[in-house]
Structure formats: structure tokens, C-alpha cells
Structure 1
Amino acid sequence: MENSRLFVEAALIGLAIAAPVGPVGLLCIERTLRQGAATGFVTGLGAATADAIYAAIGAAGLGTLIALLTRLATPLALAGCVLLLYLGIATLRRDAASHAARTASVHSLPRAYSSALALTLTNPMTILSFIAIFAGLAGARTPSLADSVLMVVGVFAGSALWWLLLAYGGGRLLSRLGARGQLLVDKACGVLLIGFALLLAWRTLAGWH
């Protein structure tokens, strides 16, 4: 029963972390519209994997690695901004014909996964959040290896559930917009991705100075 509770709580945390609309959510929507729900879901799995990696580091309490990633927070964040800017511009430059073609392929899935993974990993301050979260889940005791694994798996499962719902549920709703409506949503995602890139760059540089 205790293990079940711990898993459910960690899964809810993973779901809560993934659910707010952000850059990866926009990518998931855009790729679902352009390449299908499978590509959108795989995009989300890239983000879920990054969350699980940072959750594992936080659960393990690897002080040296945490300190290193904290020192690299600014360059990593700026790298993420560049990636966001590239993805946003690429989305805006895509014409109606290429959008209608729905160019999903087996080769596009690894790219979708790796780009979302890289984008999420460029936010190393997430580790500090997971340290605080896991401390709350574990209570006064130090979590065992089994508990740590259970929490990390729970975070991944909760995050993956959100991306599954967004890609297949949200994608089905958006498909009713028709070709023109889908193209407008696609372009809006591109504009918002560029906006996120500029906002995050400004916040990063303001904090750096």
C-alpha cells in the first residue's frame, strides 16, 4: 500500500509538471497536427525522459553533478533558447503544402524525441525542484533505492500520460478544425515558440547580470 501511494503521488507530480502549456506542449501540438499523434506523443516522451533523468539525479542527491549543472544553468538555458528560436522559425517558414503533406515517417520519430529531450534538459534548475519534491515525498526518512526508483518511474509515467492525452485526445479535437484552421494553429505555435525563446533569453540574461 505504501509503495502504491508513493507511485501515485510521484505520477501526479509528473502529470502536474508536464501539464502547463509551455514550449514542449506547443511542439507536441504542432507536430501532432503536421505529422500525426504518434509524432506528437514521441515528442512528449522526450520531455518525460528528461524529467525522469533530472528526477533520478534529484532522488540520488548527487551533489557534485547538481552543483555542476547549476553552474552551467545560464549557457544551457541560452542553448535551449536558440533551439526554441530555430524550431519556431522553422514552423513559420513551413508552407501550406508541406503542412498538408503530413510528412511523418519512421525517421522523424527519433528527431522528434531527441529535440524535446534536449529542450527539456536545458533547464537544469528543474533538479532543485525535484530535490524539494522528493524530500517532501520521502518525509523525514532517507528514501531507499527502491523508493527512489519508484518515484522516478512514477514521475515518468505521470508525464507520459499527459503527453498521451494531449497527442491523441487534443489532436483529435484539433483535427476537426480543417486544413486552414490547423495551419493557423501551426503558425500560432511558431509565433509562441519564438516568443518563449525571447522571453526565456531575457530572463536568463537578466538573472545572469
Structure 2
Amino acid sequence: MPELFHIDILSTILKGIIIGVLASAPMGPVGILCVQRTLNKGRWYGFVTGIGATVSDLFYAAITGMGMSFVMNLINNAHNQFFLQIMGSVMLLLFGIYSFRSNPTKNMHQSGNTKGSFIHNGVTAFLVTISNPLIIFLFMACFAQLAFVVPGHPFVMLIGYASIVAGALMWWFGLTWLIDKIRIIFDNYGIILINRIIGSIVILFSIIVLIGTIFNLFTIHY
């Protein structure tokens, strides 16, 4: 138990929040759905849509974490750790470039006019998100670069996963609040602009971390 106190729980919380935001921010199908429901049905319908997506993201985050915990002996090797962090940075960079260049409105479908229940809106968002297991690759990149997995400490990992949920909910809460405030002027270009801003931030973050890893400017230990 004393070893547990050597683990920086605050760092785990911060990493979880960052991962939660990175997983939720890109304007994919569920992001578009959240925006449409916020505009057509109201802010809280959009937020419930985000909650449904968050539950799906938590499921895939847990799968990723369990998978990586099984290969921690390989990851703990300093040589392997270096290349794993490089790979994570490159994957984040490619993800950022894809987000910047993509046009999420191209395949956008108009959401229904009927509001439906909060549960219905949340469940449909969950189903949309759970149908895209490629999010696992994003979690792999984030977990690798941020050294998120702490095997043998289920309490710390539980806090970490809760932080991912908190980060995701912070994003959906902020996004729906912003859209609700500027709904009169918000259009398809606004969605594209959000994606480009997110992509730029991810690109900048991944480049900084990549340079830091290559030149050993900072070290994240597993």
C-alpha cells in the first residue's frame, strides 16, 4: 500500500481529462449529431447525446487499458518505451492532420424533428459511437504517450477512467453551451472551423511531445 502513495494521482487525473477531451473533441458522426440536436431540440438533448458517446468511449478505453496492462513487461523496457512513445506521438500527429483536413459535414444527415426522450437520445448516440471501434487506436496512442496505464493499482486506474469520463463530459458540456449561445450564427462552417482548431491543437501537442521524447526533454515513466 505505501507504494500507492508514490504514484502521482493528480497526474493520472490530468492525463485522464486530456484523453477524455481528445477522444470527444473531433467532429465525427456523434459530434455532428450532438450539434444538430443542440440546435434542433435544445442544449440538454445535445448534452445527453454526449453522455451516450462518453459511455461508449469509456468501454473502449477500458478495453485498451486492459490490453496494454497484459504487455507491461514489454512496455517497461526503456528501449521499447521510447519507441512506443514515438509511435504514440506519430499516431496523434496523423490523427490531428486527419481532423484538420476532414469535412465532417460532407456526409451529414438531418436529425429528426421529434425530440424523443433523453434516454432515447443517449442510447442512439451510444450506438453510433460503439459502432466505430477505430477509437481504440486513438486511446492506444494517448495511453502510450502519456503513460496512462498503471498495472497493479486498480484504484488509480479507476480514478483515471473516471477522469476520462470527466474530461469527455467537460467537452460536451462546453460544446453544447457554446452552440446554444451562438445558435443564430452557427452553421456548417462553424463545424468545420471547430474541427480545424481541434486538429491544429492536436498537431501542435503531438509535435511538442515528439520533439520532447526524441531529445529526452521530459520523460514519462511507466
- Is the TM value for this pair above 0.5? yes
For residue 57 of structure 1, the aligned residue among 53, 58, 63 is 63
Q: Residue 14 of structure 1 contacts residue 159 of structure 1 at CA under 8 Å; is this kept in 2? A: yes
Unmatched tracts of structure 2, length 5 or more: 1-6, 70-106, 193-222
> Is residue 7 from structure 1 mapped to residue 7 from structure 2 by the alignment?
no
Q: What is the CA-CA distance between 1:42 and the residue it aligns to?
A: 0.3
Superposition pairs of residues 22-101 of structure 1, within 5 angstroms? 22-61=28-67, 88=109, 91=111
For residue 180 of structure 2, the aligned residue among 171, 185, 191 is 171
Root-mean-square deviation (Å): 3.3
Aligned residue in 2 for 1:142: 151
Identical aligned pairs, as a percentage? Answer: 31
| CA distance in 2 between partners of 1:59 and 1:18 (Å) | 18
Q: What is the CA-CA distance between 1:145 and the residue it aligns to?
A: 1.0
**1:163-189 deviation per Cα after TM superposition (whole angstroms, max 9, x unaligned):** 101112222211x34xxxx7xx4xx59
| CA distance in 2 between partners of 1:87 and 1:122 (Å) | 17
Q: Residue 44 of structure 1 contacts residue 116 of structure 1 at CA under 8 Å; is this kept in 2? A: yes
Q: What TM-score, normalized by structure 2, do the two folds share?
A: 0.57
Comparing both structures, which one devotes a greater share of its residues to helix?
1
| CA distance in 1 between partners of 2:48 and 2:132 (Å) | 20
| CA distance in 2 between partners of 1:32 and 1:62 (Å) | 36
Q: What is the CA-CA distance between 1:112 and the residue it aligns to?
A: 1.1
> Is residue 162 from structure 1 mapped to residue 168 from structure 2 by the alignment?
no
How many aligned residue pairs are there?
150
With over 3 angstroms needed to count, the CA separation of the structure-2 counterparts of 1:141 and 1:49, relative to structure 1, is closer
For residue 120 of structure 2, the aligned residue among 90, 101, 111 is 111
1:131 maps to amino acid: M
Q: What is the CA-CA distance between 1:57 and the residue it aligns to?
A: 1.2
Q: Residue 55 of structure 1 contacts residue 130 of structure 1 at CA under 8 Å; is this kept in 2? A: yes
| CA distance in 1 between partners of 2:151 and 2:171 (Å) | 29
